[in-house]
Amino acid sequence: MNLMDGFELLAKAPGGVARLRELIMALAFQGKLVPQDSKEEAASELLRQIQREKDRLISDGKIKREKPLPGITDEEKPYDLPDTWEWVRLNDLLPEFQNGASSRGDKDGIPTTVLRLADIKDGRISLNDTREIAIAARDVDKYNLATADILAIRVNGSADLVGRFILNDMDVSAIYCDHFIRIRVNGMWISPAYLAMVGDSGLIRNAVSSLFITTAGQKTVNQGHIGSLIIPLPPLDEQRRIVAKVDELMRLCDELENSGRLEAEQHARLTATLFDALAASESSHALAENWSRVAEHFDLLLDRPEAVDALEQIILHLAVRGLLVPQDATDDPVESLLEQGRTRKEELVAEGKAKREKSMPAIEEHETPFALPAGWKWIRLGQLLSKLGAGSTPLGGKDVYVPCGVKFLRSQNVWNEGLRLEGVAFITPETHARMAGTVVLPDDILFNITGASIGRCAVVPGEFDEANVSQHVAIVRPLVNDITSYLHLVLISPHVQQTVMDVQVGVSREGLSMSKLSHFVVPLPPLAEQSRIVARVEKLHHLCASLREHLTARQTYQARFAEALVEQVASAASLAAKTDDLAAAA
């Protein structure tokens, strides 16, 4: 499989366009992007011309004879080059180096544009927001920036930026500050555009990262570091063909990137439009019609994990509106469920295990966002609970945690899919006893009430032993255990989650009070219908999980294909054998 065969497939892999750019650069500087021409003057002849010029300049006294850098050993050569290419150190190309101007302004100087790091945008010089400083005339001449000069970033806090080569491909009237080193080469031997392109390759970036010096958080390279870099040198005309081909392919990468963003935006709009229509269904008949529209575009809509996430939210929304399963007139009415709860509450009050709460205010029409099916009722959350209270953090905080003991659940343990106990904290039995009001029981619902995870909630399994919860988690304990699973669906549904966002308090940190939470209005169907809803949601959840797993696996295959193509580009036969199955799966 060659580059163009896999171009579109690779672009669709996760991070595929970035990998394409990496692949293009790897091919370019291995001599595999454009064909060689045996009629062209080999790089070895260029080096002989450079040596003759160097000898002449030394003879004329224009440069000094410097101690030569050590030769390039076989171990330093990362791969074999075409016969007409040569490995060289950048110093072998007779470059002129010049560190930038350090002046912050000279008396009686000439107003001059001085390029700063801020003037480098996306690897190019930008003249949109430059600054002028009065610079002495001698320094304007010394630090002038000519077309085809290269600026190497000399110092920066970012390892990704230091040592970067920026080609000046414009006619500018400017000098450059001391954050840069100017590199000037003779275009008779090496194309400045090719050299700048090599400087941006993984080959040189890896070499630079092993050379820079770090002082006070700033990473620095010097002229010696840059001169010692080992680069692949092709014939001059081939250098130009490589630059043209890389530019062409990078433009194609830009188009793929832009079309990918556009495609993602279009997909999001289409998904939102059709899913919103589902969510807005006012009856089972309307839902069936709207679902048929979604079904027509099923393969297109559900082709990425985030679309499946959106579908699951729609399923929850439909479930708590009574549109997911049919109503049954023979079900015990919801009022009998409420009466069961009231009876249980009186028992708990009589036993001293609960307090008699104040009457809840009547539910007003503006608090009910949608109509309910016959047999359903809007109810305030607090009316369904025997306990609603926030946990607490033991005195001493983390310092009182112990390696083992009673579990202490925090917000990071509470997820919609269930409790995650990796990294759970523990407290001693004595601390547990002092925090009796925060003890968790099986079938409780835990609801995060602060922070970025506010609104996330989990059902405590029936086989759970014992635990306490922190102040960032509320215990939601239903009066009737049989409603726990349905109530959990309601609490994670878009209806309640939006209410959480609407009523939270706190300027810098989200927070939800117990009073506000208890006043949430929730839709309550008959108990038998709750069971049917939970069963249907669980079935659809498993289908969504299976689809998400398939899509994730496809992305994994695509990513593995991209890795194989990039890492094994040097061996086309081996690559084809390794990636046939991956390409088919992707």
| Distance separating alpha carbons of residues 1 and 577, to the nearest angstrom | 9
Assign a CATH topology to domain 41-234: Adenine-n6-DNA-methyltransferase TaqI; Chain A, domain 2 (3.90.220)
- pLDDT on residue 578: 41
Report yes or no: 462 and 491 within 8 Å, Cβ to Cβ: no
| Distance separating alpha carbons of residues 568 and 206, to the nearest angstrom | 18
- pLDDT on residue 303: 77
Which structure tokens are listed for 33? 């992007």
Comparison of pLDDT for 241 and 294, the residue scoring more: 241
| Distance separating alpha carbons of residues 497 and 491, to the nearest angstrom | 7
CB-based contacts of 331, cutoff 8 Å, min separation 6:
375, 526, 527, 528, 529
- pLDDT on residue 295: 72
Quick one: average pLDDT of 500-517?
A: 75
Report yes or no: 194 and 231 within 8 Å, Cβ to Cβ: no
Quick one: average pLDDT of 508-516?
A: 77
- pLDDT on residue 562: 64
Q: Per-residue pLDDT for 315 more than 50? A: yes
Ranking 146-150, 200-204, 418-422 by mean pLDDT, the lowest is 200-204
Q: Per-residue pLDDT for 579 more than 50? A: no
- pLDDT on residue 576: 37
* Residue appearing with tokens 């690559």: 575
Q: Looking at the chain, which residues constitute the CATH 3.90.220.20 domain(s)? A: 41-234, 362-525
Quick one: average pLDDT of 516-522?
A: 95
- pLDDT on residue 560: 75
Task: Tell me the CATH number for domain 362-525.
Answer: 3.90.220.20
- Distance from first CA to last CA of the chain, Å, rounded? 15
For 148-201, the pLDDT digits (tens) are 999 999 999 999 999 999 999 999 999 999 999 999 999 999 999 999 999 999
- pLDDT on residue 442: 94
The most confident of the ranges 104-108, 207-211, 336-340 is 336-340
Burial (CB < 10 A; 0-12, 13-18, 19+), residue 425, is buried
The tally of CA atoms less than 13 A away on the side-chain side of residue 220 is 12
Given pLDDT bands bounded at 50, 70 and 90, which one contains residue 258? confident
Number of neighbours of residue 225 by Cβ within 10 angstroms: 21
Given pLDDT bands bounded at 50, 70 and 90, which one contains residue 508? very low
Report yes or no: 229 and 204 within 8 Å, Cβ to Cβ: yes
Given pLDDT bands bounded at 50, 70 and 90, which one contains residue 5? low
Q: Which pTM was predicted?
A: 0.62
CB-based contacts of 575, cutoff 8 Å, min separation 6:
1, 564, 565, 568, 569
| Distance separating alpha carbons of residues 67 and 460, to the nearest angstrom | 74
Q: Per-residue pLDDT for 427 more than 90? A: yes
For 295-314, the pLDDT digits (tens) are 776 666 777 788 888 889 99
* Residue appearing with tokens 């003890």: 439
| Distance separating alpha carbons of residues 538 and 532, to the nearest angstrom | 10
| Distance separating alpha carbons of residues 223 and 66, to the nearest angstrom | 14
Burial (CB < 10 A; 0-12, 13-18, 19+), residue 245, is middle
With pLDDT > 90 as the criterion, what percentage of the chain qualifies? 62
Given pLDDT bands bounded at 50, 70 and 90, which one contains residue 9? low
* Residue appearing with tokens 């899509």: 551
- Provide, for the chain, the percentages of residues in helix, strand and coil under a 3-state DSSP scheme, each rounded to the nearest 5: 45, 15, 35
Given pLDDT bands bounded at 50, 70 and 90, which one contains residue 261? confident
DSSP 387-422: EEEE--PPTTGGGG--SSSEEEE-GGGEETTEE--T
| Distance separating alpha carbons of residues 299 and 550, to the nearest angstrom | 13
- pLDDT on residue 4: 55
- pLDDT on residue 190: 94
Given pLDDT bands bounded at 50, 70 and 90, which one contains residue 269? confident
Given pLDDT bands bounded at 50, 70 and 90, which one contains residue 18? confident
- Nearest alpha carbon to residue 155 among 105, 117, 122, 198: 117
- Nearest alpha carbon to residue 558 among 52, 3, 16, 118: 16
CA 138 to chain CA mean position, Å: 49
The dihedrals phi and psi of 89, each to the nearest 5 degrees, come to -85, 150
* Residue appearing with tokens 């092709």: 234
CA 225 to chain CA mean position, Å: 34
Given pLDDT bands bounded at 50, 70 and 90, which one contains residue 3? low
For 204-228, the pLDDT digits (tens) are 999 999 998 988 889 999 999 999 9
Report yes or no: 480 and 513 within 8 Å, Cβ to Cβ: no
- pLDDT on residue 577: 36
Burial state string for 301-326 with b = 16 or more CB within 10 A and e = fewer than 16: bbebbebbebbbebbbbbbbbbbbbe
- pLDDT on residue 575: 38
Q: What is the 3-state secondary structure (H, E, C) of 137-157?
A: HHHHHHCCCCCCCEEEECEEC
Find the DSSP H helices in 236-393.
Answer: 236-279, 284-296, 298-301, 305-320, 334-350
Mean pLDDT, rounded, of the chain:
87
For 523-570, the pLDDT digits (tens) are 999 999 999 999 999 999 998 999 888 888 877 877 776 666 656 554
Comparison of pLDDT for 38 and 510, the residue scoring more: 38
